[in-house]
Amino acid sequence: MKFIVSSSYLLKQLSAINGVITTNPVVPILENFLFEISGGTLTVTASDLQTSMITELEVEAKEDGSIAIPAKILLETLRNLPEQPVTFSIDEGTYSIEISSDNGRYKLSGENATDFPKVPTVSDGYSVNISSDILSTAINNTIFATSNDELRPAMTGVYINLDETNTTFVATDSHRLIRYRRVDVAADQSHNMIIPRKALTLLKTTMPPENTNVAMEFNASNAFFDFNNIKMICRLIDERYPDYENVIPADNNNNMSINRAEFLSSLKRIAIYANKTTHQVRLKITGSELMISAEDLDFSNEANERLACEHDGEDIEIGFNARFLIEMLGNLESDSITLQLSAPNRAGIIVPSDKDENEDILLLVMPVMLNNYV
C-alpha cells in the first residue's frame, strides 16, 4: 500500500484528533492512529474507547488498505518536516512503514489494523443541528463547573436537555451550578443526555474559529458530532442527573447589582489574603455599599475593600469560596451582574445584567458558613 500526501495538511488533520489519545491506554493499540484508504480518501481514526475522533482527507493512492501507525512518532516527524509531499509505503504483511520526504527516509513499525477497536455508530438516533458558535459558548459557560468526583459520574459531564422550545446545558459539582439555556436551539421532542467533560473539551478545541454548522446525532448510549471533515463519537454517561431545578432558590428578595470587572478585580486582590484551605471571602452589603474582606488567622493576613453597588433588600453578610466566584465572574462577558440572595445559609445566584436575547444564564454558588454574623 502506498500513498502521497502534503506533510502540513496531514499534520493539521492529525493534530485536530490527537487530543483523544491517552498516554497509557487500556488497549496498547490505542496509542496508534488507524489509517484506512478507500478510493483515494484517507480516513484517520483516534480513540480511547470512550471517545473516538475521525478525519478524512484526499490523498494520492492507487490501492486501498489499512494500517495502525504510532501516533507520537508520526506527529513528531511531521512537526519537524518542512511543507512538502511525503510518501507512505506500507508493507501489509510485516506492518512496516516507510515515510519518504525530500530530506530522507524514516522507518517505523505499525500494527494490524484489524486489532483496532471498532468505532460505534449512531443508528436509530435523534438529530439536531447547532452552530459551532452557540455550542462553543455553551461549553465554555458550563464545563468549568463539572465535578472531578468519579464516585458521582453524572456530575463529571454536562447535562443537555433538548426541548421543543429551548435547549438547556447544566453543570454542577455540588458547590456551584451553571444553567445555560438557548431558545434558538430546539428539537422536535424532548431528549436529554450527559456528555463527558473530555469529549466536550476535545470538541471545543477542535471546532474551527469561524462559525460552522455542527450536526449532532445521539441515541441511548452514544452522541455523534459532525462538522467540516471531522467526526466525533462519544459514549454518554449512563446515570441519572441530579434534580438541579430544586436546588435553585426561588424567593431571592435581596438583590445587589455591581460592575462585574470591578467586583472581579477586587475579589482577586482580597483572595490573596484568604485562608488557603477554605478560600473564604466575606461579603457585607450595607445600603449601597459592598464590603469584601478575607482573613487568614494562621498567618495574620487580612484585607478588605469597599465597592459601590445598587442594593435592593435588607443588609446581609454572607461568605463564599473566592475561587468559585472568580471563575464564574471571569466566564461572563456582561458589564454588570446581579447577585441574588435570600439568607446567609442559602445559595447565591449570579445573573448577567445584559445578555444575548436568545440566551439565559444562571450561576448558582453555595455559601461558606461564617463564624459569626454581624
Distance between CA 111 and CA 108 in Å, rounded? 10
The residue among 245, 261, 278 that closes a domain is 245
d(CA 270, CA 302): 8
Most confident of 40-44, 123-127, 369-373: 40-44
Same domain flag for 201 and 267:
no
Mean pLDDT for 27-54 is 96
Examine residue 34 and state whether it is found in any structural domain, yes or no: yes
Judge if 312 and 344 occupy the same domain: yes
> How high is the pLDDT of residue 372?
55
Question: Using alpha carbons only, what angle is made at residue 337 by residues 331 and 340, rounded to the nearest 5 degrees?
Answer: 110
Residue 312 inside a domain? The answer is yes
Question: Is residue 120 assigned to a domain?
Answer: no
Measured between alpha carbons, how far is 62 from 57 in angstroms, rounded to an integer? 15
Grid cell at residue 75: 506527529
Whether residue 371 lies inside any domain: the answer is no
- pLDDT above 50 (res 373): no
- The predicted structure's pLDDT at residue 374: 37
Domains: count for the chain: 3
Asked if 356 contacts 309 with a C-beta cutoff of 8 angstroms, the reply is: no
User: What number of CA atoms fall less than 13 Å from residue 252's CA on the CB side?
Assistant: 20
| Averaged pLDDT, 252-263 | 95
Q: Is the pLDDT of residue 233 over 90?
A: yes
> What are the grid coordinates assigned to 281, written together?
471571602
Helix (H, G, I), strand (E, B) or coil at 367: coil
What is the structure's pLDDT at 127? 87
Give yes or no: residues 27 and 74 share one domain.
Answer: yes
Q: What is the pLDDT of residue 191?
A: 92
Same domain membership, residue 254 and residue 241:
no
Q: Is the pLDDT of residue 201 over 90?
A: yes
Query: What is the average per-residue pLDDT within 34-59?
Result: 96
Sheet holding 213-218, edge to edge: 65-70, 32-38, 41-47, 51-58, 230-235, 222-227, 213-218, 126-131
Q: Is residue 355 part of a domain?
A: yes
Average pLDDT over residues 24-35: 94
If asked whether residues 189 and 84 sit together in one domain, one would say: no
Give the residue from 191, 226, 245 where a domain finishes.
245
Q: 3-state class of 53 per DSSP?
A: strand
Q: Is 132 in the same domain as 238?
A: yes
The pLDDT assigned to 27 comes to: 92
User: Do 84 and 130 share a domain, yes or no?
Assistant: no
* % residues pLDDT > 70 (the chain): 99
Of 56, 90, 115, the domain-final residue: 115
The SS3 assignment for 345 reads coil
Radius of gyration of the chain (CA): 25
How far apart, in whole angstroms, are the C-alpha atoms of residue 70 and residue 85? 20
For residue 282, give the C-alpha cell: 466575606
Contacts of 317 (CB under 8 A, 6+ apart): 282, 283, 284, 285, 344, 370, 373, 374
Q: What is the pTM of this model?
A: 0.90
253 and 241, same structural domain?
A: no
User: 220 and 264, same structural domain?
Assistant: no
| 26 against 56, higher pLDDT | 56
What average pLDDT does the chain have? 94
Q: Strand 348-352: give its sheet, edge to edge.
A: 191-196, 157-162, 167-172, 176-182, 359-365, 348-352, 336-341, 254-259, 310-312
Secondary structure element (H or E) that encloses residue 365, with its range: strand 359-365
266: pLDDT strictly greater than 90: yes
Chain centre to alpha carbon of residue 292: 31
Would 320 be classed as within a structural domain? yes
Question: Which CATH number fits the domain that encloses residue 92?
Answer: 3.10.150.10
Whether 164 is in a domain gets the answer: yes
Residues 130 and 239 in one domain: yes
pLDDT digits (tens, 9 = 90+) for 179-198: 999 999 888 888 999 999 99
pLDDT of 303 > 70? The answer is yes
Q: Is 373 contained in some domain?
A: no
Tell whether the model's pLDDT for residue 14 goes beyond 50.
yes
Which residue range is the domain that position 34 belongs to? 2-115
Decide if pLDDT at 357 tops 90: no
Distance CA 153, CA 241 (A): 9
Q: Do residues 155 and 259 share a domain?
A: no
- 317: enclosing H helix or E strand: strand 316-321
At residue 280, the 3 state secondary structure works out as strand
Clarify whether residues 100 and 147 are in a common domain.
Answer: no
C-alpha cell at 229: 471533515
pLDDT at residue 123 in the model: 75
